[in-house]
Amino acid sequence: MLGLMQDRPLLISQIIDFAAASYPDVEIVSRSVEGPIHRYGYRDAARRSKQLAEALLGLGVKPGDRVGTIAWNGYRHFELYYGVSGIGAVLHTLNPRLTPDHVAYIANHAEDKVVFVDLNLLPIVEGVIDRLPLVKHVVVMTDRAHMPASSKVKNLLCYEELIAGQPGTLVWPEFDERTASSLCYTSGTTGNPKGVVYSHRSTVLHTWMMCSGAVLGLTPDNTVLPVVPMFHANAWGLVYAAPMSGSALVLPGPALDGASIYALMDAEKVDISAGVPTVWLALLNHCEQNGLKLAAMKRTLIGGSAIPRAMIERFWREHEVEVVHGWGMTEMSPLGTATRFNRGERALPDQQRHDIQAKQGRPVFGVEMKIVDDAGADLPKDGVASGDLLVRGPWIVNGYMKGEGKGAFTSDGWFHTGDVSKIEPDQSMVITDRSKDVIKSGGEWISSIDLENAAMGCPGVAEAAVIGVAHPKWDERPLLIVVRKPGADVSKEQVQEFLVGKIAKWWTPDDVQFIDAIPHGATGKILKTALRAHFKDYTLPTA
Ligand code: ADP
């Protein structure tokens, strides 16, 4: 017997229509690329999204066509999120920090027809336009007064001119909720970027989960600032979650340094934020150096890389900000697990709460997880066994664009995350490593993440990374690579001494090498591939 309920499709356009009707004056505040702060309410944002949709139809954009964006977090990018997906076209957000070769590869692979670009990112398009035969229009996201001249891109269009004169009265079309809505490529830290195609259904379901009390608990009383870029897994869904829940949205534009983020948070009384660990390190240091406090901030969702425990402690001790540790992937829309205090746990002493926050979190409803051994057999969720992590759920990828990466999918519907983890009896998940980064010493695994986090707590250490180096007896041994804090002169022996008691003795890195800067990829993660290349001729001390 089937249920007798209506089968209404879940569509992204419903979110913006709902926000326009329910929260017309709740603001989106943007630091624009042109300079000034721009503010308007969800009603105006919805009208302009419709004007944009009408303009896209005028340019000949059809359902299923890919529309690329190379842009920071800002209100015009917000309008593209709704205007493109709303007419059944596919929003393809490109990461401006990628190399020109990657940008060209991805735009061609996606077959982008139109590309929207922020004013200060136009040189990226100019650098690759000769290699993009499928792109018919390039639109600069600015007004006429700021329009640049370009000798390289013919017939540049101006965003404000494109939408001006459009009525903004379009009624969003209805279609199958499984229709593609947006497209995001994996950041390519582990091989060629692969396309992840989200659907309207997966996006709406993921958004409901993000808004829920178990994750961010968003309400009209909140003001949310996603530092995580709108080109990094749809800003982790916050660009949908804020309008759905009536929260105000603050978009920081290109200024992601500690001082600029602090100023915006302070002026707009931001209470919830989200981003990768590297940006928070810059913000915490800015506050420390200038004696500032994050007065309105209550929680921040941090993920994308493991969070050093020292960061969780600092946020709480120095700012009373609760860190929500999240783990996820572009392939998972992205959220899979997040810190969730179970009944009674919030009352625990600080150190015990931080123990919970230092783990990657507990799965949110909708995400199933299991760990398996090399032969694919299930391992126990006992907090001891560690294995390849597999996931499944309604907002998890079912296949990559154009059938690539088939090896990541099992025949019975699970996705191989490429992460190695443990799962505890209470479902808490702890990532040991990426399977490609794990160090195999004498047949046992050493977690590069645990070593890095421990080393980050050492006075004088600004940043730490660990890679495996070939060893004649043990196969591989850990090499710790450290960037010193400005003015610090911490030595190899001091770092090794600091680690005593914090890690298993046999995990102690065989050597510590100091370098000026650790390379980061386009989404802020440590680029282990570049570090391995840097140390390819290095041999461990033999003593
Ligand atoms: P890419 O896979 O291309 O690097 P993603 O941004 O999708 O891009 O990265 C997902 C990966 O990032 C995860 O598989 C995991 O290895 C890592 N990651 C994300 N969040 C965390 C976290 N909280 N702790 C440890 N690793 C994390």
> At 152, which CATH number?
3.40.50.12780
> How far apart, in whole angstroms, are the C-alpha atoms of residue 289 and residue 292?
8
In a domain, 4, yes or no: no
Select from 230, 525, 527 the residue to mutate for testing ligand 1; criterion: most ligand atoms less than 8 Å from CB. 525
Q: Whose CA is nearest to atom 19 of ligand 1?
A: 304
Centre of ligand 1 to C-alpha 52, Å, is: 33
> How far apart, in whole angstroms, are the C-alpha atoms of residue 218 and residue 243?
10
Q: Do 59 and 191 have their domain in common? A: yes
Q: Do 380 and 501 have their domain in common? A: no
> How far apart, in whole angstroms, are the C-alpha atoms of residue 89 and residue 83?
9
Please name every residue paired with 117 in a beta bridge, in sequence order, or none if there are none: 70, 140
Q: Could you tell me which residues come within 8 angstroms of residue 371 by beta carbon, excluding any fewer than 6 positions away? A: 378, 379, 381, 385, 386, 387, 388, 389, 390, 421, 422, 423
Centre of ligand 1 to C-alpha 429, Å, is: 14
Q: Whose CA is nearest to atom 5 of ligand 1?
A: 329
Centre of ligand 1 to C-alpha 521, Å, is: 12
Tell me the catalytic residues. Answer: 186, 331, 440, 445
pLDDT string in tens for the chain (543-residue length): 999 999 999 999 999 999 999 999 999 999 999 999 999 999 999 999 999 999 999 999 999 999 999 999 999 999 999 999 999 999 999 999 888 988 999 999 999 999 999 999 999 999 999 999 999 999 999 999 999 999 999 999 999 999 999 999 999 999 999 999 999 998 665 567 899 999 999 999 999 999 999 999 999 999 999 999 999 999 999 999 999 999 999 999 999 999 999 999 999 999 999 999 888 989 999 999 999 999 999 999 999 988 989 999 999 999 999 999 999 999 999 999 999 999 999 999 999 999 999 999 999 999 999 999 989 999 999 999 999 999 999 999 999 999 999 999 999 999 999 999 999 999 999 998 888 888 888 777 888 988 999 999 999 999 999 999 988 888 889 999 999 999 999 999 999 999 999 988 889 999 999 999 999 888 888 888 899 999 999 988 876
In a domain, 505, yes or no: yes
Select from 94, 190, 206, 327 the residue to mutate for testing ligand 1; criterion: most ligand atoms less than 8 Å from CB. 327
Q: Do 418 and 507 have their domain in common? A: no
Domains identified in the chain, total number: 3
Task: Look at residue 472 in the predicted model and tell me its pLDDT.
Answer: 82
Q: Do 511 and 375 have their domain in common? A: no
Whose tokens are 């600029």? That residue is 260
In a domain, 23, yes or no: yes
Smallest Cα–Cα separation from 189: which of 419, 469, 494, 398? 419
H-run or E-run covering 499: helix 492-499
Tokens linked to 169: 């009265």
Q: Do 516 and 375 have their domain in common? A: no
Q: Do 520 and 461 have their domain in common? A: yes
Q: Do 399 and 527 have their domain in common? A: no
Report phi then psi at 476, rounded to 5: -140, 150
Q: Could you tell me which residues come within 8 angstroms of residue 175 by beta carbon, excluding any fewer than 6 positions away? A: 9, 11, 63, 88
DSSP conformational letter for 430: E
Q: Whose CA is nearest to atom 26 of ligand 1?
A: 305
- Beta pairing, strands 272-275 & 248-251: unpaired
Q: From the alpha carbon of 325, which atom of ligand 1 is closest?
A: 23
Task: Look at residue 470 in the predicted model and tell me its pLDDT.
Answer: 87
In a domain, 286, yes or no: no
Centre of ligand 1 to C-alpha 311, Å, is: 18
In a domain, 39, yes or no: yes
Domain that holds residue 490: 439-534
CA Rg, the chain, in Å? 23
Q: Do 451 and 522 have their domain in common? A: yes
pTM for the whole structure:
0.90
Rounded to the nearest 5 degrees, what angle is found at the Cα of 228, between the Cα atoms of 531 and 189?
Answer: 30
H-run or E-run covering 327: strand 322-328
Q: Whose CA is nearest to atom 2 of ligand 1?
A: 186
Q: Do 500 and 371 have their domain in common? A: no
Q: Do 96 and 180 have their domain in common? A: yes
Q: Whose CA is nearest to atom 10 of ligand 1?
A: 329
Q: From the alpha carbon of 360, which atom of ligand 1 is closest?
A: 23
392 and 370 Cβ atoms separated by less than 8 Å: no
Ligand 1 pocket at CB < 6 A: 186-189, 303-306, 325-330, 334, 360, 417-419, 431, 434, 523, 525
At 452, which CATH number? 3.30.300.30
Centre of ligand 1 to C-alpha 491, Å, is: 31
Select from 431, 456, 528 the residue to mutate for testing ligand 1; criterion: most ligand atoms less than 8 Å from CB. 431
In a domain, 353, yes or no: no
Q: Which residues of 364-390 are buried (b: 16+ CB within 10 A; e: fewer)?
A: bebbebebbeeeeeebebeeeebbbbb
Give alpha helix (H) positions in 164-276.
200-211, 233-236, 238-245, 258-268
Question: Among 151, 182, 198, where does a domain finish?
Answer: 198
At 408, which CATH number? 2.30.38.10
Question: Among 398, 418, 434, where does a domain finish?
Answer: 434
Helix (H, G, I), strand (E, B), or coil: what is residue 161? helix
Q: Whose CA is nearest to atom 24 of ligand 1?
A: 306
Question: Among 402, 419, 434, where does a domain finish?
Answer: 434
> How far apart, in whole angstroms, are the C-alpha atoms of residue 532 and residue 541?
17
Centre of ligand 1 to C-alpha 293, Å, is: 29
Tokens linked to 330: 């572009």
Q: Do 475 and 400 have their domain in common? A: no
* DSSP states along 263-282: HHHHHHT--EEEE-HHHHHH
DSSP conformational letter for 97: T
Task: Look at residue 153 in the predicted model and tell me its pLDDT.
Answer: 96
Q: Whose CA is nearest to atom 11 of ligand 1?
A: 329
Q: Which residues of 205-225 are buried (b: 16+ CB within 10 A; e: fewer)?
A: bbbbbbbbeebbebeeebbbb
Centre of ligand 1 to C-alpha 461, Å, is: 23
Q: From the alpha carbon of 525, which atom of ligand 1 is closest?
A: 4
In a domain, 46, yes or no: yes
Centre of ligand 1 to C-alpha 328, Å, is: 6
In a domain, 218, yes or no: no
Q: Do 410 and 497 have their domain in common? A: no
Q: Whose CA is nearest to atom 13 of ligand 1?
A: 329
Dihedral angle of Cα 199, 203, 209, 215, to the nearest 10 degrees: 130
Task: Look at residue 350 in the predicted model and tell me its pLDDT.
Answer: 98
Select from 98, 106, 305, 528 the residue to mutate for testing ligand 1; criterion: most ligand atoms less than 8 Å from CB. 305
